[in-house]
Amino acid sequence: MSASVIIWTSIKIYLHSFDIKEDFPFHLCNILALLLPIFSITKNKAIYEIIFFWVLAGTSHSVITPDLVNGYPNFVFFKYWYVHAGLIIFIFYSTIVYGFKPNLKSVFKSFSALQVYILMMFLINYFTKANYFYTNRKPLVANALDYLGE
């Protein structure tokens, strides 16, 4: 999953079609995919606790209401589903195989880490005029955020 994010970003740069407002891997699921090798090598429980809730909340939402403009059989379509479904499978795999289990403290660790991430996204979005993590506006496709109003 990490490789697909890195390769896709590299391809966009190589083809001179990289858009600073959309193509940095700053969306939550891309960040999670980039964290997986670190977690897999270190087997750090704190990283597991953070990604567990981020995957269950954020990635599950992305699977239920995908933010896809390109449909099947576009490469972006396959990359999207590979990363998002792969994250969900990986978190269940790591829960079962590594034997990690989240606890009540995990919720607070995950929430605190999310606050740091959101703060970084606000800053990045401010300076690049982007919309990473949808902090400035909702995605163009219909999703659950539509029920929250403007």
| Spatial distance between the Cα atoms of 121 and 82, rounded to a whole number of angstroms | 24
Phi and psi at residue 45, to the nearest 5° = -65, -35
Per-residue confidence in pLDDT tens, the chain, 150 aa: 999 999 999 999 999 999 988 889 998 899 999 999 999 999 999 999 999 999 998 888 888 777 777 778 888 888 889 999 999 999 999 999 999 999 999 999 999 999 999 999 999 999 999 989 888 887 777 776 677 777
The model carries a pTM of: 0.84
Residue 62's pLDDT is 81
Residue 95's pLDDT is 93
| Spatial distance between the Cα atoms of 88 and 86, rounded to a whole number of angstroms | 5
| Spatial distance between the Cα atoms of 108 and 114, rounded to a whole number of angstroms | 10
| Spatial distance between the Cα atoms of 64 and 148, rounded to a whole number of angstroms | 17
| Spatial distance between the Cα atoms of 43 and 84, rounded to a whole number of angstroms | 21
Residue 93's pLDDT is 93
Domain ranges of the chain: 2-148
| Token couple for 15 | 């083809």
Amino acid symbol at 51 = I
